[in-house]
Amino acid sequence: MATDSYEVRPIGWVESPLVDPASAPLQGDEGAPDAWVVLEPAVLAGLQGLEPGHDVIVLTWLDRASRNVLAVHPRGDLSRPERGVFSTRSPDRPNPIGLHRVTIRSIEGRRILVSHLEAVDQTPVLDLKPVLEAISER
């Protein structure tokens, strides 16, 4: 049984021209702007090996989401029937962790410029992971 809880501690945060969640694109490939991921100084050593051009998955904590929502109208469209949140990418869900596939454009110290990130300014960042390459290249 998994009845414990666990504490996530942000490794950084987003700096983005997106400030209003209501006007943010729903997905990164729907017009999200480039944005900065700024790492906490304490985790900077974790960045070694990442370079411009690499594709990474940014995990965020969607801190403005509602955690007690279990069903939503997909994409907020009231004409579509409600579905369980686990069958959607709704930010409202029990653990509001966002996944964002981006490309690193540049790295300046602990600031990482990434492409098309659909997260609003000051969103906490939990993790960065490389997109997996073919098995032979791991």
Touching a second copy, residues 57-76 (CB under 8 A): 57, 59, 61, 63, 70-71, 74-75
The distance of closest approach from Cβ of residue 11 to a second copy in the complex, given in angstroms and rounded to an integer, is 5
Specify the residue, 16 or 123, whose C-beta has the smaller distance to a second copy. Answer: 123
Does 107 bind a second copy (CB under 8 A)? Our answer is: no
Q: Angle at Cα 54 formed by Cα 47 and Cα 27, nearest 5°? A: 100
Determine the Cα–Cα distance for residues 121 and 65; give it in Å rounded to an integer: 14
User: Over the Cα atoms of the chain, what is R_g?
Assistant: 16
Which of 13, 61, 7 minimizes the C-alpha distance to 40? 13
Q: Find tokens 């964002």 and name the residue.
A: 100
- Positions in the binding site for a second copy (CB under 8 A): 1-13, 26-27, 29-30, 40, 43, 45-50, 54, 56-57, 59, 61, 63, 70-71, 74-75, 82-89, 93-95, 97, 99, 122-130, 132, 135, 138
